[in-house]
Amino acid sequence: EVLKNWDEQYGDRITELVFIGIDMNCSLIEQSLDSCLLTEKEMKQDWDIFIDPIPAFTYSS
């Protein structure tokens, strides 16, 4: 199943989130997640311009 959705440039691009709860506002959840997506213009820009809020991982000995 992974291979049928394989992207030559990015590889496996499938991510699934599952929300379990009662009386959740599905529309609000979808809107909030959609607002996090990059625009077409942002996708074409260099990735260096985006701030990475997660520090680089380093191994400790």
8-state DSSP, 57: P
Phi-psi region at 46: left, alpha or beta (left = phi > 0; alpha = psi -120 to 50): beta
**pTM, 2 dp:** 0.50
pLDDT score, position 35: 95
Contact 2, 14 (CB under 8 A): yes
Beta bridge partners of 11: 7
User: What ranges do the domains of the chain cover?
Assistant: 3-49
Per-residue pLDDT of the chain (61 residues; tens, 9 = 90+): 778 888 888 888 778 899 999 999 999 999 999 999 988 888 888 877 778 888 887 887 6
pLDDT score, position 15: 81
pLDDT score, position 33: 94
pLDDT score, position 23: 97
pLDDT score, position 51: 83
Longest dimension (CA), the chain: 48
